Amino acid sequence: MTNFHRTQLAGAQQGTQNGLLSSVIQRLNPRLHHLQVATMQSKTGPANAAHFSFVPGPGKHVLRYGSSFILVDRQREKAFDMQTGTPFETITMTTLYSQRNVFEQIFAEAHNMHQQMQEGKTVIYNAMGPEWQPFGDPKRKRPLDSVILERGVKEKIVQDVQAFIAARTWYLDRGIPYRRGYLLYGPPGTGKSSFIQALAGHLDFNIAILNVSQRGLTDDRLSHLLGKVPPRTIVLLEDVDVAFANRRKAEADGYSGATVTFSGLLNALDGVASGEERIVFLTTNFVDRLDEALIRPGRVDMTVRLGDATEYQIEQLWDRFYAEFDPEGTGRKRFLAKVTQLRLTNSVSTAALQGLFLYNKDDPEGAISMVEGLTAGHSRHDEKRVELPGHVDVR
């Protein structure tokens, strides 16, 4: 007899903690007779809309897969996950030794089903304990052209990342660590996180978000997490300047949370024990607060400043929202003239403009009349200029 034993979380949603296990259960459903009903309600559909599916309940089930008979024993454990409150479960499948290859067929088919469920989506990972765990449902991929950056900047970053991905053998042949770091900085609302999400979707990558100021995070755990990044996943360290600035304030208040040291972060990014085959993006609103050791080549290979909306970005945003209402572009010219008159060019974020357009999504005239309500944000001219390696500026 041959057994296959698998333990995972019960009750988690498809595509999250139980991924492949959920697909296996679904694959076996048509041949099971003792079922329980699972009810799923759409998050955005009508309040009374629900989808029902039948899943095998706890206990033993005998099924036939092709010409093979398999005994499936699904048991829920008394222990449960402390973070989610869901119980652990164990599934044991037993078949004849001569038919043991049936397990490979089942899991290959289940893997394909699982991949199809995640097709067109981006999985977001969060650090939970010593491991990366999917956070929530996979997100629909964001189109790269939905993020409006200054002319040529987006293409330059994409080309650099694609060249790095294709150069694995080149790095290994020369004994160079196969990893690349990027720093996106600039005022809030200029598209740093949005671009990374769109880039991941464009490359068919996932995203692993790590908060360096997370409670309980230590140097050893940080090094372990960055060395065990899931395949085809971009690591995102957001607002790295805030983590250590808040640490100093917290220590003064007697708070004991994260214990990551600055040297621990440096070693995790580029130390002897740091992982390879890794793409890391760092973001910050205040690049002048970052230590030079953090942004030196080898840890950060390319830096890009994303500033407030330029005339080109304003034009692109207008066309994206109002192309069907303003095919001749007359409204766009009037809007740009008013923005120029109010001196908002290079002084208001793309997020603020998008908020204005969303409020008037079917009314371009309303957007023109309300443009005076936009508050000039942090002007790039007031920002301290910092010369960085691999620098790409947006003016």
Residue 73: which of 23, 39, 111, 28 has the closest Cα? 28
- Bridge-based pairing state of the strands 59-65 and 131-134: unpaired
Report the C-alpha gap between 235 and 190 in whole angstroms. Answer: 20
Report the C-alpha gap between 129 and 133 in whole angstroms. Answer: 9
Judged on CB neighbours under 10 Å (0-12, 13-18, 19+), 353 is buried
Going from N- to C-terminal start, the domains of the chain cover 2-119, 139-307+385-392, 311-373
Residue 339: which of 381, 368, 308, 319 has the closest Cα? 368
Per-residue pLDDT of the chain (395 residues; tens, 9 = 90+): 555 555 444 433 334 445 565 666 665 555 555 666 666 665 555 666 666 766 667 888 888 888 888 888 888 877 776 656 677 888 888 998 888 888 898 888 888 887 777 788 999 999 888 889 888 888 999 999 999 999 999 999 999 999 999 999 999 999 999 999 999 999 999 999 999 999 999 999 999 999 888 878 888 998 899 988 999 999 999 888 876 665 555 555 545 555 788 888 888 888 765 667 899 999 999 888 888 888 888 889 999 999 999 999 999 999 999 999 999 999 999 999 999 999 999 999 999 999 999 999 999 999 999 998 886 544 444 454 444 545 555 44
Residues forming a β-bridge with 139:
122
Residue 182: which of 157, 152, 165, 200 has the closest Cα? 157
Give the DSSP letter of residue 178. -
What confidence score (pLDDT) does residue 157 get?
97
Cα-based distances in Å from 50 to 23, 45, 54, 55, 240: 20, 9, 13, 16, 42
Q: What pTM does this model have?
A: 0.77
What confidence score (pLDDT) does residue 178 get?
92
Q: Which CATH class is domain 139-307+385-392?
A: alpha beta
Q: Which residues of 177-190 are buried (b: 16+ CB within 10 A; e: fewer)?
A: eebbbbbbbbbebb
- Give the ranges where the chain is alpha helix by DSSP (H): 19-28, 102-117, 153-166, 168-173, 192-203, 219-227, 240-252, 262-270, 311-322, 330-341, 350-359, 364-370
Report the C-alpha gap between 27 and 65 in whole angstroms. Answer: 10
What confidence score (pLDDT) does residue 275 get?
67
- How many DSSP H helices and E strands does the chain contain? 12, 16
Give the DSSP letter of residue 306. -
With beta carbons less than 8 A apart as the criterion, state whether 88 and 81 touch: yes
Report the C-alpha gap between 93 and 78 in whole angstroms. Answer: 20
Q: Edge-to-edge strand order for the sheet containing 59-65?
A: 2-9, 87-95, 68-80, 59-65
